[in-house]
Chains A and B, each alone.
Chain A
Amino acid sequence: MRRRAFLWSTSTLYIGIVLLMLSNQNGAMINLSSDAASNRMASDRLQLAAYNVLLDLNRYLSHTTAEQIFLLAQTGQSPKGLESRIRTDYWIERMVASLKQDGVGAEITITNLEVSPHQNPRDLVQMTSLSLPVTHALYEGAVDINCDLSVTLTQPKPFTRIHADFKVRTLSPTRIFGLLQQSENLKSLIEKQTQDWLEGDQPQKIAAATALKLERLIQQFYRNASKLDYRGECRFTVEVRRSATHRFEVQLKLEGSSLTDLSPFSYTIVDSERRQISLNTDRTFSMTHSPPTDAGGSDWARVVGTVTSPSHTT
């Protein structure tokens, strides 16, 4: 009887010890897997933060470039020196502060920022994150934006640190280079043809004939430009002044002349409103006309007209 009781209690004790050991082992495994999960979570969190930095910079660059182009185009300035108007330091400051609020320490540097006329295909992920197709005919004359982004992120508990170098290859679909090209094309067309337009021997006749030809030329130009989704509008003045007998000074002025990019991708947001990009340029062309005869009459004449693009339908 005693022997049996001893065997039972010993075996029960043995099984108990085995179970306790298994339980401890199980607990240790769970702790280990919890630590692993916790570290992985911290690392995933920093990775999300790193992509957050990349994709938000991508968005910021595209939008700020459009905004700066909008301001430059209003005064007819070229996008030369556009890089200096894109304030990446300001963005870095705000992004670092924002990540700090989330308990993430960040060191962000942006180098080699450059903007240029669109040539190369852009990064697929960066374009998709801007809700833009990767390639499109209406990117001709838009702005490629390239820069290098370096991000170091740290999290104190559990201590995790990641470093990532990204190449930003994004786009601002505002076709400022296209607008400038169109504007230059109109200028050279007028310069090439004006000398042939001058006819007549009286200021009134010269002004009327020149104005008619100028109007036709601009109308034709706007018709062609509208095929590329540009819309034009301008007010012109033809002024003819007799400077001597048989000699007339002719001046063509394009005032309030604007060329607008109608591409659905090309806009900026100013004062909570979507605004299209319009290049405003005023130009003056001066010529001299010396007809063989001079019919006399008044010494001065002026004709004013307005030309707008044919109505745009998409």
Chain B
Amino acid sequence: MLLFTAIYTANSTTEDMIFTRVAYYQKAADQILLTSAMNGWINTVAEAVELDADPTDHLSRITHLCPDGCSCQVLLSDQSGTLLKSVGGLRDTVYGEASYALITSRLNARIVCRVSRG
């Protein structure tokens, strides 16, 4: 009984390393947004918002930064949380999520990047 408990506990704790796993996806989400901002892609999204144009192409470009073995979704919402645009799909539970605030003359927008396994 004792032996069984010991082996079971050891295995289940290895499986439960949630935070270390989440950290990877979280880091991926952070990096996707930071790289997009530094490449000027967030600027183009902001311009699309200012011009009241469709930002789909610019958001798609951001999802292409998704690392291998992950699936990514990029969302654009306004300050009240209303979803304005969503690009990309997720194949599993969301493990990583990062957001980027965008202050435009029309609205306070938010770009959210979600990363899952798959």
Contact = CB atoms under 8 A, between A and B. Distances in A.
A273 B106 CA distance: 12
B92 interface: no
Interface string A75-108: 0000000000000000100110111011000000
Nearest to B26: A41
B6 A19 contact: yes
Nearest to A20: B6
A56 B102 contact: yes
A273 B108 CA distance: 19
A16 B43 contact: no
Nearest to B52: A272
A252 B40 CA distance: 48
B37 A131 contact: no
Interface string A41-61: 100110110011001100110
User: Which size bracket describes the interface of A in this complex?
Assistant: 35 or more
Contacts of A33: 17, 19-20
Given A55-B38, A98-B103, A12 B44 contact: no
Interface string B25-69: 011001001100111101110110011100000000000000000
Interface of A: 12-13, 15-17, 19-20, 22-24, 26-27, 30, 33-35, 37-38, 40-41, 44-45, 47-48, 51-52, 55-56, 59-60, 63, 67, 91, 94-95, 97-99, 101-102, 125, 128-132, 269, 272-274
21 contacts: A12-B2, A15-B3, A17-B2, A19-B6, A19-B10, A20-B5, A23-B9, A23-B10, A27-B9, A27-B13, A30-B16, A33-B20, A34-B19, A41-B27, A47-B30, A51-B34, A51-B37, A52-B33, A98-B101, A102-B101, A269-B50
Given A13-B2, A37-B23, A128-B40, 11 more contacts: A20-B5, A30-B13, A30-B14, A51-B37, A56-B103, A67-B105, A95-B101, A98-B101, A99-B101, A128-B38, A129-B38
